[in-house]
A and B are shown apart, each in its own frame.
Chain A
Amino acid sequence: MSNVNYNNKTVSDENVKTVLQRVADQLKGDVNVFSGDRSAVPKGGSKTSHHLQGRAADFSVTGYTLQNVFANLKSKKSDIFDSVKKYQVIHHGSHTATGGAHIHIGRYASGSGVSFLIEGLTAKTKGIYTSD
């Protein structure tokens, strides 16, 4: 059985935690969470981060490249995500404007469906989010 290793990080949202466990089960690999809830008040204008709202996790999966994880999340979408909630999945590549390459899953407070975005897969797309 595959597990979700939270590595002392907290993810408050039960829906996101359920999704992470389904990722581990579907991919048969351990999910390693390296960022969850964040509490720091942003200096700038945006306070809309799902992390700040306790509804997001950054992770990788043992034995899989991030590209493979992202592809699996898309192909197994109906097995992993609840159809009545709205999620955002982002593949941050090696050229990311953020701290490092990772998969991000966040949940919106309302709505339904899953949107898949990519960022920083090439130097030209550093910081630029587009649909995939």
Chain B
Amino acid sequence: MSRLKILLIACVVLSACTHIRAMTSHRYFPLKQGNAWVYDIKLDGKPSGHILQVLVSDVVNESSGQVFVVSEIDESLEPHKRHDQPTTYQSRNTGIFCQESGAYVLPSSLANCQTWQAGPLNTAGMNRVISVDANLEAAGQYFEGCLVVERKEPQFNRRIEFTFASEVGLLRSRFFKLSDSGVTLPYREEILIEFGHLTPPRFLRPPN
């Protein structure tokens, strides 16, 4: 390959990776008390008949700032196997921070190919923006300009793909087994089927 071709390819890659959308993370992860989402769960490509419900149930003022308490019920898990704690997030100038994982879910500025750690330890895995202009149909709507983040978690031997839509939040999560070829079908998929805002905060569907 000629030097010119290599230079051209490098320029194209560099150009694609520096397409910055400044300060967008807060739009892609709207934390407002009463915001609620319902996801349909597919396992091994088939409908499971179960849903995952997520709700911003409270906002707490702590010394480090406002903390958003996010409740989750995964109805594909038996009650005794469900997590018995919520996830807590902070909306910081530097991005959306998850207190439990000790890492940013989304940093404030997002660019294609951008990477950041999924946790404070090197073993926690890495997040990487793989698209800032994806399209996806969910909850009966067609969303354009979606953000897609890939997380590789070697310790769990899995790769997760998160698709976010502006002002709506997480549209889809797809879980893959890590493989050398990288070509696998998702063993689990959670896709948004309903979202809204309820006051006082409550799940959109009565939980089982």
Contact = CB atoms under 8 A, between A and B. Distances in A.
A118 to B, nearest CB: 10
A50 B188 contact: no
A18 B201 CA distance: 36
B194 interface: no
B77 A129 contact: no
Given A50-B85, A104-B84, A127 B190 contact: no
Interface string B69-86: 101111011011111111
Interface stretch (A23-31, A69-77, A91-99): A91-99
Given A46-B72, A128-B202, A129-B58, A111 B82 contact: no
B76 A129 contact: no
B79 A111 contact: no
Chain A contact surface mostly? loop
A79 to B, nearest CB: 20
A97 B156 contact: no
A106 B73 CA distance: 19
Nearest to B202: A128
A117 B69 contact: yes
B173 A129 contact: no
A43 B102 contact: no
A58 B190 CA distance: 29
Interface residues of A, number: 41
A33 interface: no
B87 interface: yes
Given A127-B53, A129-B71, A50 B100 contact: yes
Nearest to A45: B173
Nearest to A43: B188
Contacts of B76: 43-44
A113 B125 CA distance: 28
B35 interface: no
Contact of A104 (B80, B85, B102): B85
Interface in B40-86: 41, 52-53, 55, 57-58, 60, 62-64, 67, 69, 71-74, 76-77, 79-86
A49 to B, nearest CB: 5
A97 B207 contact: yes
Interface in A103-118: 104, 106, 108-113, 115, 117
A88 B153 CA distance: 26
A129 B207 contact: no
B102 A131 contact: no
11 contacts: A44-B173, A44-B175, A45-B190, A48-B101, A51-B83, A99-B81, A108-B99, A111-B64, A117-B86, A127-B53, A130-B58
Interface of B: 41, 52-53, 55, 57-58, 60, 62-64, 67, 69, 71-74, 76-77, 79-88, 98-102, 120, 153, 156, 158, 160, 173, 175, 188, 190, 201-203, 207
Given A48-B101, A129-B69, 13 more contacts: A43-B77, A45-B190, A49-B85, A92-B84, A98-B83, A106-B85, A111-B64, A115-B88, A119-B86, A124-B202, A128-B57, A128-B71, A129-B85
